[in-house]
Structures are given as structure tokens and as C-alpha cells.
Structure 1
């Protein structure tokens, strides 16, 4: 197979199938986590998750509560990675100020804020129920 054939997709990942595709996708995902680790906000959330994820099993009164508590922590990290991806793509376009670039970055930041509020609300409700 000639990867330089103009009839083939530009992304070689599209040509992979089965376990080969899964293996390479896992590698890309790990590279994304390593890139996320370079961002201070993601590092802070990851460190907080080291405490919060085990605490979810102690605070939660059943598998649904544990899932909601743990899921809310993971959701914050997911949204942070997506926000970082948006910011990185916008920054690649160019350093000049643009109202659409600002809007995209602001919406990504708002998504992080909403995920943090959801997480905090769930954790506060679970803690209040235990008192």
C-alpha cells in the first residue's frame, strides 16, 4: 500500500482497521493526556481527582451516587481537555485578535465553568446528605 497515493485519505489512521487501529488510537489518546498534563489547569484537576475519585467510593451511598460523583470529576477533566484543544486550534490559526476566536475560547471556558459548577453541586449535595 502506497501512503502517498493521491486517492488515499490524508490521514493514515483512516486506513487502519481492527486491533491495529485501536492500538494506534490508544497511542494518540495517551499523547493527548501527556499534552494535557502540560496545562496547569488540567494538572490541578488531575491532582484533585487523585483525592476525589477514591472519596467518591466513601461518600457515595450506592453505585449511582458513586458514579455521579466520580463521573462529575472525570467530566471536568474531559471538558478541560476539549477546551485546551479549542484554544490550541485557535492559537494555531494566528496570534492576532479576532472576535470569533475570542468567542470560541470564551465558550470553551464557559463549558469548563459549568462542568466545575456541576461537580461542586453534586459533591456538596452528597456531603450534605451524609451529615
Structure 2
């Protein structure tokens, strides 16, 4: 099955922005993390540390948002497949949530290591 459209920069950007718009409308976790990112970025700018440390904090913070987007995609696919309770569906969603949790832990550990 080949239902992939040909690559087109502007169309693909439109698809990406459409996905972001959907997540902003429907995913409260992403909205909270994006709101926190505003303060995290301000903290990164204000903290007195090397540019490489600032980059580590920025990348680990953006990683949280990326993993949350992937988790939201997983949840949407699972919901598409079944609306009823299914152990494997729950497991898939739980694993996605675990990925987000580890990304957040990584980000917090980076902050702790840089501040100490």
C-alpha cells in the first residue's frame, strides 16, 4: 500500500502546522508543557552558564515537547483502532506516557547538574 504523497515543502509544512494546531486544541498536557517552556526558555536566557550548557537545557526541553507530540500521535492511533478497553491499547498508551516521563526526568536532571 503506497498512500504517501510526493514530498512538497509547503504542503508538508502545512501538514505539520495542522498537527500542531490539533494538538494545541485537544491535548492539555502539551499545552501545559508548552506554557512551562516559556518560563524554561526565560530561565535558560537568564542563567549564568556556558552556551553549551544553555544548549543542553534547550535541547532537553524541546525533547519533552517532541516526545509529547509522539505520545499524542500514539494515543490518536490507538483510539482510531479501538474505542473499547483493550490491554494492548492501554499498554501502548502507558509506554508513550513513560517516554514523556523519562524526557521530563532527563530535563530536570540536566537542570540539576548544570545548577550544581
Give the TM-score of the pair, scaled to structure 2: 0.90
Counterpart among 76, 80, 84 of residue 92 in structure 1: 80
Verify: 1:107 aligned to 2:99, yes or no: no
Verify: 1:62 aligned to 2:50, yes or no: yes
User: How many residues align structurally?
Assistant: 115
Separation in 1 of the partners of 2:112 and 2:103? 14
Q: Deviations over 1:86-127 (max 9, x none)?
A: 000000111111121111111100000000100111112222
Aligned-CA RMSD value: 1.6
Verify: 1:33 aligned to 2:20, yes or no: yes
**Structure of higher CA gyration radius:** 1
Runs of 4+ in 1 over 6 A off after TM superposition: none
Give the TM-score of the pair, scaled to structure 1: 0.80
Verify: 1:71 aligned to 2:59, yes or no: yes
**Structure 2 unpaired stretches of 5+:** none
**Structure 1 unpaired stretches of 5+:** 1-8
Counterpart among 6, 10, 17 of residue 3 in structure 2: 10
What secondary structure sits across from 1:72 in the alignment? Answer: helix
Q: Deviations over 1:70-93 (max 9, x none)?
A: 111100000000000000000011
